[in-house]
């Protein structure tokens, strides 16, 4: 595939945006029968099972020097955010979750600056401020339309985007000698058994008593297979050929699909939501338009 071609990289971004933009509504569907912890475990567990043949095949490529980075990619890049997102969506709409997910490039840049020796321009620092201001506005809105509440559950998504920022920088800095398939399959080889073991400690029998639980299970399995396993394979491959900030810019487009799904599901989207999301994306643009020297 022409991974070095800019047009192909943008096409991949669009596909990833659709898949991940649909993830929030799939989580919402899954949470109708399953607890947030069960939903996250099913997501990671199903992705692990799909990737297992690749994991076994690529064990020969597992080197001691890569172990730390692969563990970071697995636990911080996938497992922890999965639990944070499902927990957050027990109290916030899927569209709002998609909007806040736009902070990923902001924290990708901040983490790169603090821990990976990235350089910066003044415009990029302004972009960080705009991103944080936009996020603060969305969080302060709570679940209503007035700026008089504080939704602490939204902070879980902020933490998840920080985790994504750590993961993107780690992969770009230390794992580019591995393919996207190798990075994803090997990192899930460590976190998949953890998720499945945790799921087995929960009360699954009670879940099967709820109406439509199998449909909700299917939504979470689809989320794990398409939104986690396959999407992460593609994302980690993209990071090898493009800059870390470019790869994280998939979040420009994710909110569009998240909002569309939310509207179709009857969620309330106000003008203020759009304004604050626009502030975040303006900040992301300012960060991304000036390439760092490290990239």
Q: What is the 3-state secondary structure (H, E, C) of the chain?
A: CCCCCHHHHHHHHHHHHHHHHCHHHHHHHHCCCCCHHHHHHHHHHHHHHHHHHHHHHHHHHCCHHHHHHHHHHHHHHHHHHHHHHHHHCCCCCHHHHHHHHHHHHHHHHHHHHHHCCCCCCHHHHHHHHHHHHHHHHHHHCCCCCCCCCCCCCHHHHHHHHHHHHHHHHHHHHHCCCCCHHHHHHHHHHHHHHHHHHHHHCCCHHHHCCCCCHHHHHHHHHHHHHHHHHHHHHHHHHHHHHCCHHHHHHHHHCHHHHHHHHHHHCCCCCCHHHHHHHHHHHHHHHHHHHCCCCCC
For residue 148, what pLDDT band results from cuts at 50, 70 and 90? very low
**244, pLDDT greater than 90:** no
Spatial distance between the Cα atoms of 162 and 77, rounded to a whole number of angstroms: 9
Higher pLDDT, 142 or 236: 236
Q: How many residues does the chain have?
A: 295
pTM here? 0.84
φ and ψ at residue 209, rounded to 5 degrees: -85, -15
Percentage of the chain exceeding pLDDT 90: 46
CB 126 within 8 A of CB 275: no
CB 100 within 8 A of CB 161: yes
**165, pLDDT greater than 70:** yes
CB 278 within 8 A of CB 133: no
For residue 234, what pLDDT band results from cuts at 50, 70 and 90? confident
Contacts with 215 (C-beta within 8 Å, 6 or more apart), sequence order: 29
**38, pLDDT greater than 70:** yes
Give me the pLDDT at residue 218, please: 96
For residue 13, what pLDDT band results from cuts at 50, 70 and 90? confident
For residue 269, what pLDDT band results from cuts at 50, 70 and 90? confident
Spatial distance between the Cα atoms of 262 and 69, rounded to a whole number of angstroms: 35
**208, pLDDT greater than 50:** yes
Give me the pLDDT at residue 172, please: 86
For the chain, the average pLDDT equals 87
**236, pLDDT greater than 60:** yes
Spatial distance between the Cα atoms of 281 and 135, rounded to a whole number of angstroms: 10
Q: Which of 89-93, 116-120, 127-131, 214-218 is the most confident on average? A: 214-218
- Tokens found for residue 238: 């993209």
Give me the pLDDT at residue 147, please: 43
For residues 140-156, average pLDDT = 65
**35, pLDDT greater than 60:** yes
CA 81 → CA 162, 171, 266, 290, distances in Å?
9, 16, 26, 28
For residue 228, what pLDDT band results from cuts at 50, 70 and 90? confident
For residue 158, what pLDDT band results from cuts at 50, 70 and 90? very high
**292, pLDDT greater than 70:** no
Higher pLDDT, 163 or 289: 163
Q: How far apart are the first and last CA of the chain?
A: 22
Residue 211: Cβ-neighbour burial (10 angstroms; 0-12, 13-18, 19+): exposed
Give me the pLDDT at residue 290, please: 56
For residues 186-203, average pLDDT = 96
Domain boundaries, the chain: 6-289
Choose among 236, 227, 247, 13: nearest CA to 108.
247
**84, pLDDT greater than 70:** yes
Give me the pLDDT at residue 245, please: 63
């Amino acid at each position: 595939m022409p991974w070095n071609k800019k047009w192909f990289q943008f096409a991949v971004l669009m596909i990833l945006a659709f898949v991940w933009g649909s993830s929030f509504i799939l989580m919402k569907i899954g949470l109708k029968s399953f607890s947030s912890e069960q939903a996250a475990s099913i997501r990671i567990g199903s992705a692990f099972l799909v990737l297992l043949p690749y994991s076994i095949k690529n064990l020969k490529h597992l080197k001691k020097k890569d172990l730390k980075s692969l563990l970071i990619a697995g636990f911080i890049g996938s497992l922890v955010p999965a639990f944070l997102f499902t927990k957050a969506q027990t109290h916030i709409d899927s569209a709002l979750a998609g909007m806040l997910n736009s902070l990923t490039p902001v924290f990708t840049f901040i983490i790169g600056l603090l821990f990976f020796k990235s350089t910066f321009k003044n415009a990029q620092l302004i972009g960080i401020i705009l991103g944080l201001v936009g996020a603060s506005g969305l969080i302060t809105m709570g679940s209503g339309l007035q700026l008089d509440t504080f939704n602490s559950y939204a902070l879980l998504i902020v933490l998840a985007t920080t985790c994504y920022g750590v993961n993107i920088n780690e992969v770009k800095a230390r794992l580019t000698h591995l393919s996207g398939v190798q990075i994803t399959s090997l990192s899930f080889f460590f976190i998949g058994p953890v998720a499945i073991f945790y799921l087995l400690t929960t009360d699954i029998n009670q879940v099967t008593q709820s109406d439509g639980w199998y449909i909700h299970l299917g939504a979470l399995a689809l989320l794990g297979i398409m939104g986690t396993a396959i999407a992460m394979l593609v994302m980690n491959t993209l990071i090898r050929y493009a800059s870390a900030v470019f790869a994280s810019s998939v979040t420009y487009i994710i909110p569009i699909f998240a909002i569309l799904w939310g509207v179709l599901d009857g969620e309330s989207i106000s003008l203020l939501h759009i304004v604050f999301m626009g502030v975040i994306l303006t900040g992301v643009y300012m960060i991304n338009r000036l390439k760092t020297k490290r990239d």
